[in-house]
Amino acid sequence: MSITNFPGSANSSPLDPSITKVTIPALAEMKRQGKPISALTAYDYATSRLVDEAGIDMVLVGDSLAMVVMGQENTLAVTVDEMLHHTRAVRRAVRRALVVADMPFGSYHGTVAEGVANAVRFIKEAGAEAVKIEGPRVALVRALTDAEIPVAGHLGLTPQSVHRMGGYRVQARTADSVEQIKADAKALEEAGAGLLVIEGIPREVAATITAELTIPTIGIGAGPDCDGQILVFHDMVNLSFAPQAKFARRYADAAALFRKAIEDYREDVEHRAFPSDEESYHLPSAVKKELEAERAELKPVQLRKA
């Protein structure tokens, strides 16, 4: 098969030609057409399959996995190798959505060359289609773009800056900081970013940035006027064991569902109600009869011995 001529449409998924793959240009087209973009985080094969099969446009392997999957208190400790491991699992599951991998803290905070080398690993070793980096790192975004690596910028409340921000606080609340974030957003777009995540900023600021950029904005805690929305999967289904943020609407209570299933299973095991005979494998009847016959023949011998 020629790689420049997939069967089906120009954007056919290489893994399934009947599916039209979501790409960075496709997201830009959605913005042009005013079609909202849906995005979710995912970190493993099972949830990524569900997210992709539900038609979500973009899957972010977020470094939030440090907290919601690994139980750490913030996102700072997760490593490139851990992020690669999860990105590979997501990649195996996703057919349609754009797969974006988060570059973890420390992997792009040194030289631009180090940042590019780490980003290359996400594309080459894990199959990501774009990387996300936090903050107005314009030189790095330009270098990544030159290296053919699509970039998602991330401005506003950037969790990797938790110590500088003094906690997870809504950003861009003063006139100066509003001007700054607008300038940063424009600079990232000019440097080649393909989309911009904006987190934890006032709705009005997010609306202005969205109107001023040609690349799509994906909001989280940034109001309804962004081109798309993203939530952390575990927040959305109540699996994050954290106080609920104002913007994190819960669409399901997976904690309650799982807890009940686990408790029911434990009770069944303790009462020998699981597994049932129907849930057990059985010998073929011929073998069963043979064994019974052998046992019947052995019985008198055993009795004599006793």
Q: Please give the Cα distance from 301 to 7 (Å, whole number).
A: 73
User: Smallest distance, Å, CB 269 to ligand KIV?
Assistant: 36
Beta-carbon contacts of residue 61 (< 8 Å; ≥ 6 apart): 41, 42, 43, 83, 86, 87, 90, 99, 100, 101, 102, 128
Q: Which is nearer to ligand KIV, 189 or 235 (CB)?
A: 235
Each residue 185-214 as x (binds ligand KIV by CB under 6 A) or -, in order, gives: ------------x-x---------------
Using only C-alpha atoms, what is the Rg of the chain?
Answer: 26
How many residues touch ligand KIV under the rule CB under 6 A: the total is 11
Nearer to ligand KIV, 132 or 142 (CB): 132
Longest CA–CA separation in the chain, Å: 100
Taking the least distance from each CB to ligand KIV, the nearer of 178 and 233 is: 233
Instruction: Respond yes or no: is residue 53 known to be catalytic.
Output: no
Q: Which residue is nearest to ligand KIV (CB)?
A: 62
Among positions 52, 102, 129, 227, the unique one binding ligand KIV when judged by CB under 6 A:
102
- Please give the Cα distance from 140 to 137 (Å, whole number): 6
Q: Where are the alpha helices (DSSP H) in the chain?
A: 24-33, 45-53, 65-68, 80-93, 112-124, 138-146, 162-165, 175-191, 203-212, 233-236, 254-270, 285-305
CB of 132 to ligand KIV, least distance (A): 6
User: CB of 41 within 8 A of CB of 87?
Assistant: no
Burial 138-162 (b: 16+ CB within 10 A, else e): bebbbbbeeeebbbbbbbbbbbbeb
Quick one: 13 or 48, whose CB is closer to ligand KIV? 48
Q: Under the criterion CB under 6 A, does residue 220 sit at the interface with ligand KIV?
A: yes
In whole angstroms, the minimum distance from the beta carbon of 184 to ligand KIV comes to 16
What is the rounded distance in angstroms from the CA atom of residue 156 to the CA atom of residue 135? Answer: 8
| Interaction of residue 133 with ligand KIV, rule CB under 6 A | no
Instruction: Please tell me which residue in 199, 204, 263, 294 is annotated as part of the active site.
Output: 199
Q: Considering the rule CB under 6 A, would residue 238 count as an interface residue with ligand KIV?
A: no
- Between residues 62 and 192, which has the closer beta carbon with respect to ligand KIV? 62
227 binds ligand KIV (CB under 6 A): no
Q: Which residue from 89, 63, 87 is spatially nearest to 77, judged by alpha carbons?
A: 63
| DSSP string for residues in 147-191 | TT--EEEEEES-GGGHHHHTSS-----SHHHHHHHHHHHHHHHHH
- Which residues, numbered 45-74, are part of the site for ligand KIV (CB under 6 A)? 60, 62-64
Which burial class, exposed, middle or buried, applies to 271 when counting CB atoms under 10 A from its CB (0-12, 13-18, 19+)? exposed
Q: Is 232 in the site for ligand KIV (CB under 6 A)?
A: yes
- State which residue, 149 or 218, has the beta carbon closest to ligand KIV: 218
Contacting ligand KIV within 2-41 (CB under 6 A) = 41
Binding site for ligand KIV (CB under 6 A): 41, 60, 62-64, 102, 197, 199, 220, 230, 232
The residues annotated with a catalytic role in the active site are 199
